[in-house]
Amino acid sequence: MSKTHNKKTCPDCKRAVKELQEQCKDCGFNIIIEPSEKARARYLRGPSLGALFFTQGFTFGSRLYFWFLLSLIPVVGIAALIIMVLFGRQLSWRAGGWGSWEEFRNRMRILDIIGIVWISILVGAYLIARYAV
């Protein structure tokens, strides 16, 4: 472990943890903090707001290119939206070729934020157009 004890928050429970994503100075063993299989499975089962609010952006950003193409077809796009909301994280984790769990979680967080911003812009534009004189 390093001499400096940098603090980092757990992405799951937000508690402070020591920074352990490094190599041990004594033995050279790589120390990596990974979530338990139970915590990982719980996260992967959760619905994706990014997929709900911005299906094409979610499928492209999560490296699910086949689903991106399917989401562009009007009738099939509705089925793709439902599947991505319910199973998008699982499919992306299995097929995405992510370098680490942290990289995957960060991408999913960004896609969720983009989806929320996108739907907020659409609702705002609708309200402005609806009530503009």
Segments making up each domain of the chain, as ranges = 1-33, 37-131
Whether the predicted pLDDT of 8 surpasses 80: no
Least confident of 32-46, 58-72, 84-98: 32-46
Question: Measuring CA to CA, which residue among 104, 11, 89, 99 is closest to residue 50?
Answer: 89
- What whole-number distance in Å separates Cα of residue 46 and Cα of residue 102? 17
The pLDDT value recorded for residue 108 is 94
Query: How many helical (H) and strand (E) elements, i.e. helices and strands, does the chain have?
Result: 6, 4
The pLDDT value recorded for residue 39 is 84
Whether the predicted pLDDT of 32 surpasses 90: no
